[in-house]
Structure 1
């Protein structure tokens, strides 16, 4: 039998005393006014200030009304009033029908004259009734406006319109017009130009002399002759002016010698010189002038029997297709 050790009693757990929480950090020195603001606003005060609208615009808010009630733009007093009866307007006949009846009774000859007049009177009365009804109120207003405009236009025309002339007045105007046309046209001469004061000729000559004299007399530089043998090219010697030329010099001055006036003979195309006809050529030139001879064709190119058939061709056995193709085509 195994030896079992005795059971020990359980050790009771030791309970420690509860620890106190750490003390809160010391509050900073805050202004009491600021603390009141913080108590009022739960969230950040700055955010609430920024979230506010700068400009408040009043908007229409619909009121909550009881069930069965609807707002209407019509006044309540109007709704309580009586609706005017328009039975007379409803009874009226359309104008287009009345106009047709009017036309019929005016032109119809089958109906007696008395009845026609009576019916015509009745139709006219109906036309007035329909015209005064509500359905033709707008057309009536337009017609009245048009009538008013026409009357105003007629009054303006009557004021501005020229009065018609009598026959005698028109004849008189025509005679005057013919007289004005018959008169020759007036020739307008050019306006005379104002003439200047003419001075004496002698005074003008004196004035011209004074004007012809130069205002300033400037001395010009003359280059001195450095070389004793220098000759001015533009200067003419006095001997040359007195020189008398001979007849030969005169001829040379006016006539050129024949060697300068001689012209070359014209070249005639195709003409052969006489010396060329008498010339005798060398054997080398004769050899070169002869046409070139071409070499003969080789003997192999020319066949003795060009239409001869080879032995292999005679032994060849054609296919049925070739035989078919070899047959001549039947032409119509």
Structure 2
């Protein structure tokens, strides 16, 4: 890239600006659509070119409804529509199958394949099916099994004479402890009262020496 070129400051814009920014800053001219040169419009408001135009294949494919909608319509009005109208719906389904959207969605419908729901007929059970059914009924009709818990394993039996001492011991009332205050106990010592031996105590010289406070030297 080369060096950017700048325009010289002018009286209206006394600043240095690059030429590209100066060109981009010029406002664009507004285009007013007057309709000159456009195709004519018919009284209904549709342009003549739109009526004479040819639709592309992609737009034509996108205009077809989904195959599922055709099937729902066909099943809902199968007994109400005439054969001619049902044939017309089948043609529309065939036209929808050709589109690329139906192939990409993997929803192409084969009309030659008959509907299995309509062709299915009610039939009776065969002997093998009846046999399976009766075997199942006999299986569930039997009495319900009772799952009893296993018996408890107990110890050896003892005569009543050997059990009476233990029974008497258990049947007696327990001895409850009698809680008293601490001051009522024999070992309690009142902290307020001074022992009598302490009043007769004679202090020794060694204890006096240890009890005297130390002399703190003063700073000179």
Query: What TM-score, normalized to structure 2?
Result: 0.27
Query: What TM-score, normalized to structure 1?
Result: 0.20
Larger Rg: 1
